[in-house]
């Protein structure tokens, strides 16, 4: 792969990305290599409580499951913020994926919060690079707070505002530009 890894970066859907799976989404890239990329959509909460979907994680995440993407919607990916040093595989600062099979008692002492995602976003070899060349995504470094944003519906605009410059104008675009 000629380009550096996008692991730990945010992919912010450009307005021209009309795929309903990714319209106005913010995706955290968890893995990126020559073989492809994997990430989770950070700003699509569902109405499914974590306690109902993944009871073993309910003590660590008392919120809602988020729709991580269109690939394998029955698969579970959980991201945790570690209080101390994160394990190998950290994505962004103290944020790292955890396995549902992890020892939950030990994990409760190591992490401060968890967010659960159903499904993920995936790209095959060269696919993400092609979408970036087509300007379908804006790229921005992820901050740990992005993963646990309290107002997920506003994350797309918030990250574009943070990116600054011309992106601030994009952040303020109406959902339907025809209404402008």
Summarize pLDDT for 21-58 with one digit per residue, the tens: 999 999 999 999 999 999 999 999 999 999 999 888 88
Nearest residue to 122 (alpha-carbon basis) of 17, 25, 40, 1: 40
**SS3 at position 20:** coil
Q: Is residue 37 part of a domain?
A: yes
Which residue is it, tokens 């506003």?
154
What range defines the domain where residue 89 resides? 9-179
* Residue 81 placed within a domain: yes
Q: Confirm whether 41 is domain-assigned.
A: yes
Residue 120 lies in a domain: yes
Q: Can you tell me the distance from the alpha carbon of 163 to that of 176, in angstroms, rounded to the nearest whole number?
A: 22
Residue 2, in any domain of the structure: no
pLDDT band at 6 (very low <50, low <70, confident <90, very high): very high
Strand, coil or helix: 177: helix
Determine which of 1-5, 111-115, 137-141, 166-170 has the lowest per-residue pLDDT on average: 1-5
Tell me, what CATH number does 34's domain have? Answer: 3.40.1740.10
**Euclidean distance between CA atoms 16 and 83, whole angstroms:** 39
Residue 132 Cα distances to 35, 53, 150, angstroms: 16, 34, 28
- How far apart CA 94 and CA 96 sit, in angstroms, is 7
Place of tokens 């919060």: 113
- Structural domain contains residue 64: yes
Residue 1 belongs to a domain: no
- Which residues, in sequence order, are bridge partners of residue 79? 97, 115
Q: Give me the percent of the chain exceeding a pLDDT of 90.
A: 70
pTM exceeding 0.85:
yes
Number of domains in the chain: 1
Tell whether 40 is covered by a domain. Answer: yes
Write phi, then psi, for 76 (nearest 5 degrees). Answer: -115, 130
């Amino acid at each position: 792969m000629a380009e550096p890894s996008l692991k730990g970066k945010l992919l912010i859907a450009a307005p021209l990305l009309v795929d309903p799976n990714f319209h106005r989404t913010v995706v955290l890239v968890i893995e990126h290599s020559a073989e492809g990329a994997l990430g989770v959509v950070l700003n699509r909460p569902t109405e499914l409580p974590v306690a109902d979907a993944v009871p073993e994680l309910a003590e660590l995440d008392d919120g809602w499951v988020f729709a991580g993407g269109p690939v394998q919607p029955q698969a579970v990916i959980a991201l945790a913020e570690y209080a101390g040093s994160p394990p190998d595989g950290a994505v962004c600062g103290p944020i790292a994926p955890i396995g549902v099979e992890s020892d939950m008692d030990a994990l409760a002492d190591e992490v401060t919060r968890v967010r659960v995602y159903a499904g993920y976003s995936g790209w095959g070899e060269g696919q993400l690079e092609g979408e970036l060349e087509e300007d379908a995504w804006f790229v921005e470094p992820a901050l740990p707070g992005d993963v646990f944003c309290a107002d997920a519906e506003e994350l797309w605009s918030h990250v574009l505002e943070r990116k600054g410059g011309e992106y601030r104008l994009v952040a303020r675009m109406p959902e339907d530009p025809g209404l402008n």
